[in-house]
Each structure stands twice: as C-alpha cells, then as structure tokens.
Amino acid sequence: MLLILAKVIILTFVVVLPLVPISVYFERRFSAIIQDRVGPNRVGMPLTLLGMKKDFSFFGLVQPMADGVKLFLKEDFTPAHVRKAFYWLAPALTVVPALITLAVIPFGSDISIAGQKISLAIADLDVGPLFIFSIASLSVYGITLAGWSSNSKFPFIGGVRSTAQMISYEICLGLSVVPVLMYFGDLNLGKIVQYQSQHGWLLLPLWGHDAAHPLQEKLLFLIPAFISFLIFTISIFAETNRMPFDLPECETELVGGYHTEYSSMKFAMFFMGEYAAMVVGSALIITLFLGGWSLGPWFDQWAAGLAIGSFKIGGFLNLGVFLAKLIGFILFFILVRWTVPRFRYDQLMKLGWVIFFEAALVNVFLGALVIAAPTLSAAVIGIGAVLLLVLCAAVIWVAKVSEAPAKRNSGLLLQD
Amino acid sequence: MPSLLFWFFSLLMLIGGIAVVAFKNPVSSALSMVASFVGLAGLFIGLNAYFTGIIQILVYAGAIMVLFLFIIMLLDLKVETGRKPKLGPVAAGFALVIAFAIQLIGVLSSSPDKELPKLDLAAGAAHYQDISPKIANTLSVEQKLPDVHIIGQTLFTGYNLPLQILGVLLLVATVGVVVLSKRQTN
C-alpha cells in the first residue's frame, strides 16, 4: 500500500509531471532554432540581485518555472455567461485521464531491494494498452464540456470538432495496434517490453533469434509493424490535438478553440493536459514499437546485474534510457508541429475514415497472415496474399471513386 | 466484508444512476450516466474481470456516451429543462421501483448468506492444461487470472460462428444506417 503510494508520487509527480514544463521549454527553444530565432535563453539564477556581476542562465532552463508562476498569478476570470459547474469541471477532466493512464506504463525494469522485486510500473495490469485507450477516451469529455460550457461560438465549434476528431481517430488507434498485440500475444505492457528486450524491438528485431523466434519471421513482420507504427503515431498526433491536426484550437479560425474563455490556471490545465497526453502517447509508442526501457540485450543484461550490495539499481538505468527515448520522441512531436502545415477539416476526416481505417483493417489481416504463415501450407498463404491484394485494390478503387463527386470543403460542420 | 473500494464504486454507481433521473439538465444526466458506468467498471475490476471493466469504460463511457453528449449539446433542449414533472409518470415510476425492490428483497432473503469461495486457480489450470498451455501456465505459475486470454479462447473456439454472425449483423446495421441517412438528405 505504502509502496504503491510511493510509486504513484514518484513516477507521476517526480518523473512525468516535470516532463510537461520541460517539453514546453523544448518546444520554445526548438521552434526558435527552426525559425532561426534565439528563443527563451535568459531566465536563470538572478545572481545580479545578490550583488554579483553576471546572471547565471542555464540556457533558459528556468523559463518553464517562470511561465508557471506567471500562469498562477494571472487573474482567474470567469465570464458571466458560462455554465459554471461544467466550466470548472472541464479542465480537470482533461488533465486527470492523461495522468491516470501513466499507471500502466513500465518505466524501467524491476529493481530489487534485498530480494524483494519492485516493478517500475505503478500497476502491472494485464490489459495495459486497453486501459490506456479507455481512460484516454474519457478525456474527450473535458474538451467537449469546455466547448459547450463556455457558451459562446468559437469554443463550441472547437469542442464539436475535437469530439468528432477524437472519436474518429480512436478507431484507427485501436485497430492499428491489433497486429502488434497479436504478435506479442499479450496485453501486459511489462511483458511486451521484456519480450522486446530479449528478442529485439518490434521495429529493430536484430537480436535474440532462436527456433521459436526465427529471424526471417521477425523481419517479415516488420511490414505490418511499420504500417501499424505509422498509423498509430499519426493517430496519436490527432488524439492529442497536436499541430497537423490541431483543428479544435486553430487560432486562425477559432481564436483559441475550446479554451478561448479560460484564463489563468484553468487555461494552464488544458495546456498541461495536452502535453501530458503527448507524453503518454510517446511513452506508449516507445513501449509498443521501440523497445520501451531496453537498449539492446548487452546493455540490459549489464544493467540487470548491476547492484550495490543487495540493492539492484539496474532499473534506474533503464528508467534513464526510457526517459531519453521519451524526450527524443517529444522532440519529434515538436519537429512535426513546426514543419507540417495544418490540415483542412475535411482532409482530416478523410484521412481518418477513408485511408487510415481501411489501411489498419487490411493491416490486421496482413499481420495475421504473417504470424500464421509458418503453420500454413504454401497454397493457403498464396490464396491469403492474393485475397489481401484484391482487398487492397478494391479499397483503393472505392476511395478513388468516392473522391470524384465529393464537393470541396464539405466538412462535417458545413454540410450543404 | 467487501473492501472499501466496493462501497465506493457501488455508491458512485447508485448516486450516478439516481442523478441521471433527478437532474433536469440533459447534459448533467448524461455525465451522471458516465459516472455510473465508471462505477460499474470499478465493480467489474473488483471481481477480477479486468477486461470486462475496461471494455465497459471504453465502449460505454468512452464512445457511446460521448456520442449521446454530442447530440444533446447540438440540440437546444431548453423545453426539457423547464418542464415540471407530471404526477402520473412519477407515481408509475415509483410503483415500478417499489415492485422491483420487493422482488429483490424476496430473492435475496431466500438465498443463503455466505461468502463466495475463493478463486480456485489450481482447478482452472488443470482444466486449461489440454486446451491452452499458456493460460494454464499463467494460472498455475503466475497465480493470476488471465481473463483476456480466457475470454478470447472461449469466444473464438466455442462461439466462433455466433461471433462471426454478430459481426456481419453489425456491419449490415452500419450499412443500413448510411443508406437511410443518405436517402433522407436527397
């Protein structure tokens, strides 16, 4: 009981929550580099206040703290026309689900103190990815309610857009991950990472071959795995309302989208919710496709043997690897945000429903065929492959046909 | 003695259920229903049925109720919030509730009041030894109930045909909805 409480506090509030301001800092500095600016590089220790000659700035690393203090101290203004109860509830409903989903992510391998194993996941559930999907699907309520309770036009449109977008991409998200889960044969994220540590990451299966896991099978599975990875990653972008898909809060059309009427800490909570969702999404991608906390079998074995007396500390090294991967992926998120222009709403819906949904569905069968291939006869495999090809061709043909008569700009909200 | 969490989730569910009826604002009602679903999912998880609990949240709270809320918000339901309840339907509702409560008390008082036996993992492992060694292994070595695997095993070996038929039925329903809605606009 005490242990779980300690894990919750340490992993959520010491490991992950600081990642939110840090990713905000990275976002600002990285975007500055992309746009050939300097970015926030001044805020640091104000040593001149203490009578010294120069301030000491850690490359502006204290900037997020200054931002946080600023948001705390701003006036918390509640407009008179809002529906109060829901208006207050909405920010909490966006942050809390994102933080709850952290519970099942394995941050590192087990550490053990005097023979007692402690896993570095808060809850080692057997339904890991499903848990994340289900709780993350609850965060729709926060955004929807924010849009509705603000009781004005732009937030409402933002909320409606966001709801439609999140529901659409949830389907792609769930469907794209099916082949991956079939491959692992398990829904426990800890076991999935353990497997990848022993037999190679899903997208880098270069070690740990044996009779049960031959190399060619793993290499063949790279095709469905890569399609899954692509759909999953892009759907995570859409789920977290990040840039190419940030229609719910796009400034040029909707002022601020669903959080237009919010100020001070309530606004900051939406911000935090978005970044926390991004952190969780990256963590899930890393866990499923990129080996989680593992860094090659040699490193993992070396880390597993590392101990101070009876206190095995290898898990912390793995935790460091996981965080490094996480920050790398967050940088990728930021890179995409500042390089890819925003989609139009009908393009967004089309991408989700016409391209990704079908591709993920076909990919399920492709993955199943690859997994089942060693136990099937050549004729069956051939028939399956031909059927899949025909299915692909049919899907592409239907997509082409449906494209032709569609009117331009006929998004969900602008039906004629 | 059930754990504290049982009481918490049961209370959440009951209060949510009452609030669905008691609130006049449809959005509040919908949200209370979500709270009720979350409570029910908690109860499922308390019974070791992780998969059922999670699916409860994923399907009902995360998808169906979101669509409900979406529709409710798009409709302007001012009439509904202002209307006073009529005596007849309320009385009929109470009568139904009382009849159901009496029936429930009757059933509960005739059933023996004893604790359920603990989950017999060893017997489960012996049962699954021939069917699926993996499930048997989880049951006997890890001392856990692999509910996802068991549900999958049962569904895809014992009830494969009904499952496929259900899938086709759902597809037909979806296509039907699309056809009907297209016809209406033209």
Mean pLDDT of A344-352: 83
**Following DSSP, what letter does each residue of A35-89 receive, concatenated?**
TT---S---SB-GGGGT-SS-B-STTTTHHHHHHHHHHHS-----TTS-HHHHHH
Task: Give the closest-approach CA distance of A201 to chain B in angstroms.
Answer: 22
Mean pLDDT of A8-25: 82
Chain A residue with the nearest C-alpha to that of B55: A134
Among the partner residues B50, B58, B69, nearest to A137 by beta-carbon distance = B58
Name every residue whose Cβ is closer than 8 Å to that of residue A281 and which is 6 or more positions away in sequence.
A236, A239, A240
Tokens encoding A129: 């990815």
pLDDT of residue A413: 55
Please state, in angstroms and as integers, the Cα–Cα distance from residue B93 to each residue in B21, B37, B87, B96, following that order: 11, 22, 10, 5
- Whether residue A44 contacts residue A62, with contact meaning beta carbons closer than 8 Å, is answered with yes
User: Which residues of A make CB contacts under 8 Å with B?
Assistant: 85-86, 125-127, 130-131, 133-135, 137-138, 140-141, 144-145, 148, 156, 159-160, 163-164, 167, 170, 185, 187
Does pLDDT of A87 surpass 50? Answer: yes
Chain A residue with the nearest C-alpha to that of B74: A160
pLDDT tens per residue across span A219-233: 888 888 899 999 999
Does pLDDT of A176 surpass 80? Answer: yes
pLDDT of residue A406: 53
pLDDT of residue A232: 92
Among the partner residues B27, B51, B66, nearest to A140 by beta-carbon distance = B66
pLDDT of residue A416: 45
| Chain A interface test: which of B70, B76, B150 (most A C-beta within 10 Å) | B70
The half-sphere exposure of A103 on its side-chain side, counting CA atoms within 13 A, is 19
Tokens encoding B146: 């692999």
| Chain B interface test: which of A84, A100, A134 (most B C-beta within 10 Å) | A134
Fold exhibited by the domain B1-79: Four Helix Bundle (Hemerythrin (Met), subunit A) (1.20.120)
**Following DSSP, what letter does each residue of B152-178 receive, concatenated?**
HHIIIIISHHHHHHHHHHHHHHHHHHH
pLDDT of residue B185: 55
- Element at B128 (helix H, strand E): helix B121-131
- Whether residue A403 contacts residue A347, with contact meaning beta carbons closer than 8 Å, is answered with no
Cβ neighbours around B110 below 10 Å, total: 7
Determine, for residues B50 and A126 on separate chains, whether the beta-carbon distance falls below 8 Å: yes
List chain B domain ranges.
1-79
Q: Of the candidates A204, A201, A209, which has an alpha carbon nearest to the alpha carbon of residue A184? A: A201
Determine, for residues A130 and B58 on separate chains, whether the beta-carbon distance falls below 8 Å: yes
- Whether residue A245 contacts residue A238, with contact meaning beta carbons closer than 8 Å, is answered with yes
Q: Which residue type, as a one-letter code, is found at position A127?
A: V
Does pLDDT of B173 surpass 90? Answer: yes
Percent of chain A with pLDDT over 90: 2
pLDDT of residue A408: 56
Mean pLDDT of B69-92: 76
Does pLDDT of B103 surpass 90? Answer: yes
pLDDT tens per residue across span A304-343: 777 777 777 777 888 888 889 988 988 898 888 888 888 8
- Whether residue A106 contacts residue A99, with contact meaning beta carbons closer than 8 Å, is answered with no
Among the partner residues B57, B66, B148, nearest to A134 by beta-carbon distance = B57
Q: In angstroms, rounded to a whole number, what is the distance separating the alpha carbons of residues A241 and B47?
A: 36
Q: In angstroms, rounded to a whole number, what is the distance separating the alpha carbons of residues A60 and A69?
A: 15
User: Which residues of B make CB contacts under 8 Å with A?
Assistant: 27-28, 31, 34, 50-51, 54-55, 57-58, 61-63, 66-67, 69-70, 73-74, 134, 144, 146-148
Supply the ipTM of this predicted assembly.
Answer: 0.81
pLDDT of residue B161: 93
Determine, for residues B66 and A141 on separate chains, whether the beta-carbon distance falls below 8 Å: yes
Mean pLDDT value across chain A: 82
pLDDT tens per residue across span A127-152: 888 888 888 888 888 888 888 888 88
| Cβ-Cβ contacts under 8 Å, B147 against chain A | 126
Cβ neighbours around A373 below 10 Å, total: 17
pLDDT of residue A78: 81
Task: Give the closest-approach CA distance of A148 to chain B in angstroms.
Answer: 7
Going edge to edge, which strands form the sheet with A116-118?
A116-118, A111-113, A311-312, A307-308
Q: Tell me the pairing of strands A307-308 and A111-113.
A: unpaired
- Please tell me the least confidently modeled range out of A187-196, A225-234, B77-86, B151-160: B77-86
Name every residue whose Cβ is closer than 8 Å to that of residue A401 and which is 6 or more positions away in sequence.
none
- Please tell me the least confidently modeled range out of A38-47, A363-372, B28-37, B40-49: A38-47
Tokens encoding A336: 């995409």
Mean pLDDT value across chain B: 84
pLDDT tens per residue across span A22-51: 888 888 888 888 888 887 877 777 777 777
pLDDT tens per residue across span A378-402: 888 888 888 888 988 888 888 788 7
pLDDT of residue B124: 78
What confidence category does residue A415 fall into, taking pLDDT thresholds of 50, 70 and 90? Answer: very low
Determine, for residues A170 and B62 on separate chains, whether the beta-carbon distance falls below 8 Å: yes
Chain B residue with the nearest C-alpha to that of A148: B73
| Chain A interface test: which of B54, B59, B60, B69 (most A C-beta within 10 Å) | B54
